[in-house]
Amino acid sequence: MTLRQWKYEDILRISELEKECFGKEAWSYMMLVSSFETDTFIGVAAEDGGEIVGYGGITVAYDSADIANVAVTEAFRRSGVGGAILEELLARAKAKGAAKVFLEVRVSNTPALLTYLKHGFTGAYTRARYYPDGEDCLVMAKEL
Ligand SMILES: CC(C)(COP(=O)(O)OP(=O)(O)OC[C@H]1O[C@@H](n2cnc3c(N)ncnc32)[C@H](O)[C@@H]1OP(=O)(O)O)[C@@H](O)C(=O)NCCC(=O)NCCS
């Protein structure tokens, strides 16, 4: 498995993975393109045998960063890919000057919560009924 920055031609595959991992709430192809074209955005892709099996994105503004997404195709989960993408995003954000990172996660998303806890994030506060289906979101934070 290798990690590298997104290329424009990766976005179609990344949008397929978005749909697979997030269903109705997936970012559209155009949303991914628009992030990709933003100067403050850093996208990391995990590749295995020439195929993208996971990806993540982070936006850095001055000393603060926000994780936009992290996802791994089902067959490759629980083998460290998500954690490796996360660490790569954090390292790249730190290199751009970020000192603190935030993310939002559904309170029921146990795999994601456990992944973020394992990588040093802690719960900061919740936003009640944040998602369209009424679920709360937990905002997590980590100092770099
Ligand atoms: C969250 C996600 C990216 C994690 O990716 P992953 O490649 O499975 O993560 P890792 O293998 O690095 O796991 C990291 C740790 O998190 C915990 N963990 C992850 N998934 C878990 C699960 N299903 N059950 C229990 N613990 C889990 C474990 O502690 C794991 O470490 P271990 O395997 O050494 O015990 C993946 O589950 C995913 O793509 N989910 C769907 C998309 C999503 O919800 N993204 C997050 C949006 S906020």
Ranges of each domain in the chain: 2-143
pLDDT at 57: 98
pLDDT at 74: 97
74 Cβ below 6 A of ligand 1 = no
To test the pocket of ligand 1, the residue of 72, 79, 113 to mutate (highest count of ligand atoms within 8 Å of its CB) is 72
pLDDT at 50: 93
23-45 pLDDT, tens digit each: 989 999 999 999 999 999 999 99
Distance (Å) from CA 122 to ligand 1 centroid: 16
71 Cβ below 6 A of ligand 1 = yes
pLDDT at 42: 97
pLDDT at 124: 97
- Beta partners for residue 141, in sequence order: 102, 122
DSSP for the chain reads -EEEE--GGGHHHHHHHHHHHHGGGPPPHHHHHHHHTSTTEEEEEEEETTEEEEEEEEEEETTEEEEEEEEE-GGGTTTTHHHHHHHHHHHHHHHTT--EEEEEEETT-HHHHHHHHHTT-EEEEEETT-STTS--EEEEEEE-
pLDDT at 3: 98
CATH of domain 2-143: 3.40.630.30
pLDDT at 144: 97
Parts of the chain with a pLDDT under 50: none
